[in-house]
Amino acid sequence: MASDTDVRRTIQNQYKRWSRAALTNDVESILTILATNYTLHTYSGKVIDHKTYESSLRERKKQNKPASVYDTHIERMSIHGDNAIVVSNETSSNTSVDPITNKKLRLIHIHKYSDSWVKIRGEWRLQKTITQAESTKVVPL
């Protein structure tokens, strides 16, 4: 049986894989990380099922929309056999111009998630994401 440290490392690697795949609109790689019954619960309370989420990924790829570079950091984790609950912070940033001052700003977006992971045929798959908080920090450049 894998140690808690091994499970944490494996799931952190899944987050890194997702980040790399999102950057290049690699839909197939993202789908290998998700359980077939994956659901995303947005901060506003909307629930997006696997099929709808997959369609949005494919549409983004079709339109060749650029993705943000982001990093996911595991804040805490509880493991119960083949299930794990992970509270994580996903951070991304981009630059913008203040419409009033015309100065460049860095916008740092942070999403706090509660993710449910399940081990299926030896692989950790993301089963459910619940968005707990969203925030944006504005930093002058």
Give pLDDT tens digits for 95-141.
899 989 999 999 999 999 999 999 999 999 999 999 999 999 999 88
Q: Which amino acid is at 56?
A: S
- What CATH code is carried by the domain that includes residue 108? 3.10.450.50
Domain count, the chain: 1
Q: Which long-range contacts (CB under 8 A, 24 or more apart) does 79-82 make?
A: 79/4, 79/7, 82/118, 82/119
Residue 122 has a pLDDT of: 95
What's the domain range around 9? 4-140
Backbone torsion region of residue 24, taken as left when φ is above 0, otherwise alpha when ψ lies between -120 and 50, otherwise beta: alpha
Looking at the predicted structure, is the pLDDT value of residue 6 above 80? yes
Query: Any idea which of 42-56, 60-74, 105-119 has the lowest mean pLDDT?
Result: 60-74
Q: pTM above the 0.75 mark?
A: yes
For residues 40 and 70, the model is more confident at: 40
Q: How far is CA 19 from the centre of its chain?
A: 7
Residue 103 has a pLDDT of: 93
